Structure 1
Amino acid sequence: MIVLTADSASELFAAACQAVLLNGKLAAPRDLTTTEVVGAHLCLTNPRRRLVAVPPIRMINPAFAVAEALWILSGSDAPWIFDFNDNLRQYADDGVLRGAYGPRIRHWDSGVDQLDAVVRKLTVDRQSRQAVVQIFDPARDHRGYRDVPCTLGYRFFIRQGRLVMHTSMRSQDLWLGFPYDIFATTLLHELMAGWLGVEVGEYHHHVDSLHLYAEHAPAAAECLHHEPAITEMEPIAVAWPSLDAVLAQIISGDGNLSDGTPWDTFSRMLTSYRTWKLGERNLARKLAHDTPGPLGAALVAWYQHLTQPALVSPELA
């Protein structure tokens, strides 16, 4: 069991890489060799510092991080997400990711919006212990689909005027999955705090199997020789009744809000990456350069990363 606390996702990622490499044991589910720690509790004290970067070794595609978070929040399993990470297609059954979190969170059993349920629960009873979002569904997830959710669920608590969030995962690929998962979950965490009118508290990430695949272990070890980059996102908020309309506007490509808010930044990120995928590389770079804040800088860095074949992360290129 490992317990780690850090003020930024980058520092937490680097500390987790070190802990897994030092304490992990070999395990090979599906005949894929990993170094694994069974039982990990990772605490992020500042959830707005959600962007993982340990340059030049671990860079992530920030456009995909944004796209996946919005895809989940909107309750979608639509295939537009493949435009931002084509590698996901290999996990689809009949073109659909059967383990997509969005429908489970927003339309459980075709009816329950679990985010709405949490907002209502904690609005009525600020001390409730019943603010739970369930993701793993045995009725679906034992059918043999390629995509089975790694996340079991989320829990929210208001304590001392702050919203504390806990995530439980049966499995976490530290190298490929963690940087994107923590971005999406802490974004939900911050939005939920806004809907409830409280400050953002600590974020807790509980993992049963925290692991590094053999192919990523050398790079994880190399990360230990580089300083994590620490950036903090601007505060983000939207009224709960307006969430779906804002998400639809941004996802559709009609979300050029030009208002300087984080939602405007998200829109610019998606537009730039879609432009990149169309082959208009110079325009995509300009759009990224003109996007303010750490996300814009991260997208510029990602495009630079993609032009260096030896350093490309194949899962997201």
Structure 2
Amino acid sequence: MLATMTSHPEEQYLDAMARAWAEGSERRDRTGVGTRSLFGVTMRFDLSDGTVPLLTTKRIFWKSAVKELIWFLSGDTNIRPLVEQGVHIWTDWPLDRYRRETDEAIDRGAFEARIIADDQFAREWGDLGPVYGKQWVAWPDGKGGTINQIAQLVDGLRNNPASRRHIFTGWNVAELDRMALPPCHMTYQYHVADGRLSGILYQRSCDLGLGFGFNIFEAALLLRMLAQQCGLEPGEIVWMGADVHVYLNHEHLVAEQVARAPRPFPKLDFTRRPASIFDYRLEDVAITGYDPHPHIAAPVAV
């Protein structure tokens, strides 16, 4: 049975943000910025009516999120394909490493220009290590080969829908120390019932101010892609966050966003059915009826 709610489903998110700021445990973290943190938050979003949880209390740049998800599915771990498309969400990590290791005070624009223009520079400084995409589609099998978790997931959903093993994860303990950032949205599981596909995302760490909007939209989009590829209807996406936090320098974001009233979620459609889960393009994703409040700028903690 799908979750029923009398209030707007985005209220779950606004409530978590307000509680984290007002009641969260204040903690110092690896970034040095500090957070206010809750532990263990669950949200549910019904996708069966064609809507998608794209936050409306601030604008989410959903096209960048689509490009990021397609990049994950490609297995690439270099920022070059993203920056070539004007997506900057992964640049801060290699840029920070470059500044620390070379003492060059380069700005982001100049760094990205070099990533695009110089093959050798991109190979050396644009790679993030074995992050999400590498684990999703090329997990080392211990025998010199790799395992494509996403391909196995699609095959399982098509041929053994009642299985309780429709799972993939990015949390490869043996390779965490080589990753620019260990996976935050780390484990996904799916469930088929009455011809509908539902999913759970377990997220070990979530920045409510900047990360959640991308995370929940991409999880819902991936579920819709899987449903289309497997001939299923969408059910619901369940989000489970462990360390759910707001950064201390995001007070202005929290105050402004929780004061806004959510608007109706937009609809998501596909313009075609690609040949496989790995063949989606940005233009395949159609979002209609998205009428968000304005974007709220806030700094990223690296």
Aligned partners of 2:190 and 2:199 also within 8 Å: yes
Equivalent positions of 1:84-95 (< 5 A) are 84-86=86-88, 88-92=90-94, 94-95=125-126
1:259 is aligned to none
- For residue 29 of structure 1, give the secondary structure of its aligned residue in structure 2: coil
Instruction: Please tell me whether residue 293 in structure 1 is matched to residue 288 in structure 2.
Output: yes
Q: Could you say what secondary structure the match of 2:91 adopts?
A: helix
CA distance 1:229–1:312, change in 2 (3 Å): same
Overall identity of the aligned pairs, in %: 22
Change (3 A) 1:214 1:44: same
Q: Which residue of the partner structure matches residue 77 of structure 2?
A: 77
- Aligned-partner residue type, residue 66 of structure 2: V
| Matching of residue 187 in structure 1 with residue 218 in structure 2 | no
Q: Distance in 1 between matches of 2:89 and 2:285?
A: 27
User: Which contiguous aligned blocks of 4+ residues in structure 1 show a shift greater than 6 angstroms?
Assistant: 4-9
The aligned amino acid for 1:133 is F
Could you say what secondary structure the match of 1:140 adopts? helix
**Map of 1:280 onto structure 2:** none
Q: Number of aligned pairs? A: 259
Q: Offset of 1:188 from its aligned partner?
A: 0.5
Alignment partner, residue 113 of structure 1: 148
Aligned equivalent of 1:42: 43
- The superposition leaves residues 48-76 of structure 1 with CA deviations (integer Å, 9 ceiling, x where unpaired) of 3221121xxx3332332222122223332
> Which of the pair is proportionally richer in helix?
1
Query: TM-score, normalization: structure 2?
Result: 0.75
Distance 2:5 2:20 in 1: 15
The CA distance in 2 between the partners of 1:194 and 1:118, in whole Å, is 14
Higher relative contact order (CA 8 A, sep 6+): 2
Contact 1:10 1:230 in 2 (8 A): no
Superimposed CA distance per residue, residues 26-49 of structure 1 (whole angstroms, 9 cap, x where no aligned partner): 111123311100111121123732
1:226 equivalent in alignment to 2:283: no
Instruction: Assess, with a 3 A threshold, how the Cα gap between structure 1 residues 67 and 87 changes in structure 2: closer, same or farther.
Output: closer
Give the counterpart letter for 1:20 in structure 2. A
Q: Superposition pairs for residues 1-317 of structure 1, below 5 Å?
A: 10-30=10-30, 31-46=32-47, 48-54=51-57, 58-78=58-78, 79-83=80-84, 84-86=86-88, 88-92=90-94, 94-98=125-129, 100-109=131-140, 111-143=146-178, 145-236=179-270, 239=273, 241-247=275-281, 263=284, 265=286, 293-294=288-289, 312-313=297-298
What residue ranges of structure 1 are gaps of 5+ in the alignment?
251-261, 266-291, 306-310
CA RMSD after TM alignment: 2.9
Q: What is the rounded CA distance, in whole Å, between the counterparts of 1:61 and 1:122 in structure 2?
A: 30
TM-score scaled by length of structure 1: 0.71
**Residue deviations 1:88-144, cap 9 Å, x none?**
22313631122532222122226322122112112222211011111111111034x
